[in-house]
Amino acid sequence: MGHALCVCSRGTVIIDNKRYLFIQKLGEGECLEVTDEAWLLLPFFEGTLWNEIERLKDKGNFLTEDQILWLLKSLTKRNGRDAHRSLLLPYRDLKPTNILLGDEGQPVLMDLGSMNQACINVEGSRQALTLQDWAAQRCTISYRAPELFSVQSHCVIDERTDVWSLGCVLYAMTFGEGPYDMVFQKGDSVALAVQNQLSIPQSPRHSSALRQLLASMMTVDPHQRPHIPLLLSQLEALQPPVPGQHTTQI
């Protein structure tokens, strides 16, 4: 790789001051030749956004509104940077446990197995049921958009499913738990719960503008939810100057 390799422990290595999981040591001067497999060397991250939310909650603290807006904007940019192109691939399974945090707090998306095309034209009950079954397997129930629980036989599913999931992530960052986490944990029906407009708690820690943004993202009717570009412009208007210029990675 052209850089010194330092074995730090039995489980990690450091390359260029970045820590990686240590998979296999190749003795000095050796070369491993294989023709039927490929290995990826990925960066190591200490934890997820959910780990940070829980760490703060254990101390009786929460993310500040400025931190929340910066993280949300970074996550939204991942979805919106190619929003003008037909090749946009929504994530479809956004949740705090799928968001790693870098050394400087920048969010990094992991587990990309649910990504697919942005705009899905559903034409018929068979296709609707197929998509509904796919969502049940690939999209975490407590962060799944309402339109994916009961897919209509003639409809369009677009990237606003991610806007809903981002709203759930925003709620979790704001209040320390997802809006439907308790519904799921109690064994109640999340599918029924998401059909009603979410009640957002009042809190002196958060501005009315943030609550209004959250309410718009959690609108049950997907046609009334903002598209990614509009959401980005709303965040630009809300967000004060922030440290660094990081954007979400995948």
C-alpha to C-alpha distances, 142 to 115, 182, 202, nearest whole angstrom: 18, 9, 22
| CA 134-138-139 angle, 5° bins | 105
Tokens of residue 100, six digits: 């790693």
Q: Is 93 a catalytic residue?
A: yes
| Contact partners, residue 101, CB within 8 Å, separation at least 6 | 45, 46, 47, 48, 49, 51, 52, 107, 108
Query: CA 185 to CA 190: how far, in whole Å?
Result: 10
| Contact partners, residue 146, CB within 8 Å, separation at least 6 | 164, 194, 195, 220, 222
| CA 18-22-23 angle, 5° bins | 140
Catalytic residue among 58, 93, 158, 162: 93
Q: CB-based burial of residue 176 (10 Å sphere; 0-12 exposed, 13-18 middle, 19+ buried)?
A: middle
Query: CA 203 to CA 57: how far, in whole Å?
Result: 15
Instruction: Map residue 105 onto helix, strand or coil.
Output: coil
Return the active site residues.
Answer: 93
